[in-house]
Structure 1
């Protein structure tokens, strides 16, 4: 039996909750990961929305097997502080939102890299609580919100994460936000009813509208 994810470090007030993914939502992932791969003698050929099978040796053009892809991803996470940078206006937007809501980061990443990501987020001024887990996001969001009669919002770039949260927290505003990378253009599309934010300015508009509608 797996251990229950510890959420005790996340302390919520009596106000709305905004839970946000990190990679390719708050911090660039695909673009710096491509730069990292080239330095390792590999390249990402976006032929489908997956990494295994699409990362190839520059020299031979042979695709790497899953264990080698996993090793590269973990090496990248180990060095993420040297590679990943925030998206435009994310720091300002989340800082403004935090005046009216509790902001929490929920990143799909092995928990052993929590400290690396914590240092990176703190360095750029994003000091909000951070949860790192490879578990489904819907049940985590359900535990965080815990049925409170307050607005909640979830932002992610991956359809199955959005669907997971929608299915576990029906009253949550679920926002799809992703970069226009060649890889993301091949991603599965979220179901109808999940709203798409084009950038952080647009996301803020959607979030404030949702919060205000629940307060009315």
Structure 2
């Protein structure tokens, strides 16, 4: 099992640009993979809001699963199902090109036992960059990372609270939002006047290139 990286361990060059990248719905199509996993457990997903557990149902029932059941499925997914995620189209090629000039750090909110499955999935799909497992709002961690380089920095995530947290803690870091799942996207809270909003890496890649000066 790989050893977890801590924040001081991250290899951040003191003068290079820095890209801080989330995983789920940014690099990985999480909702689709999680939907397949819960289907094997006898549940179903009906996406009618921007949520996770509130979109999970027992077949034929109108009420969504209770939080405890949803959380148990989420935790089990990272033991038994996290390899079954499709990569987001264009993400690996875009990051590979950007990484020629910028450092890339993967910052993902996932349980501690997700370390092996998450690092393995990233490596298999062309995202073999240093990864930090995280919990909670990401702004303070982003501020610490960005504070270790004099180069420009950007942060990419699907969740508005993380982007707002970054804006508060690290206002100099450019922020971008992408939600890969087309079913989820219409329900997602966004603030395109504060955080660049993109539907795919076709436009996100060039936007990040402009930030790092390519």
Contact in 1 for aligned 2:12/2:148 (Cα 8 Å): no
Q: Aligned-residue CA RMSD in angstroms?
A: 1.9
What is aligned with 2:196? 195
1:67 Cα shift? 0.7
What is aligned with 1:9? 9
What is aligned with 1:99? 100
C-alpha distance 126-54 of structure 1, shift in aligned 2 (>3 A): closer
C-alpha distance 94-106 of structure 1, shift in aligned 2 (>3 A): same
Q: How many residues align?
A: 209
Moved more, 153-162 or 190-199: 190-199
Superposed, which structure 2 residues align to 1:63-142 within 5 Å?
A: 63-142=64-143
Contact in 1 for aligned 2:33/2:82 (Cα 8 Å): no
Moved more, 12-21 or 144-153: 144-153
1:14-41: CA deviation from partner (whole Å, max 9, x where unpaired): 2000000000100110112112222211
Query: 2:26 aligns to what SS in structure 1?
Result: coil
What is aligned with 1:150? 151
Gaps of 5+ in 1: none
Distance in 2, Cα, partners of 1:51 & 1:77: 15
Query: 2:57 aligns to what SS in structure 1?
Result: strand
Superposed, which structure 2 residues align to 1:4-83 within 5 Å?
A: 6-13=6-13, 14-83=15-84
C-alpha distance 135-60 of structure 1, shift in aligned 2 (>3 A): closer
1:159-183: CA deviation from partner (whole Å, max 9, x where unpaired): 1111111111111110111124323
Contact in 1 for aligned 2:16/2:149 (Cα 8 Å): no
C-alpha distance 59-198 of structure 1, shift in aligned 2 (>3 A): closer
Gaps of 5+ in 2: none
1:61 Cα shift? 4.4
Bigger relative contact order, structure 1 or 2, given CA contacts below 8 A and separation 6+? 2
Moved more, 59-68 or 32-41: 59-68
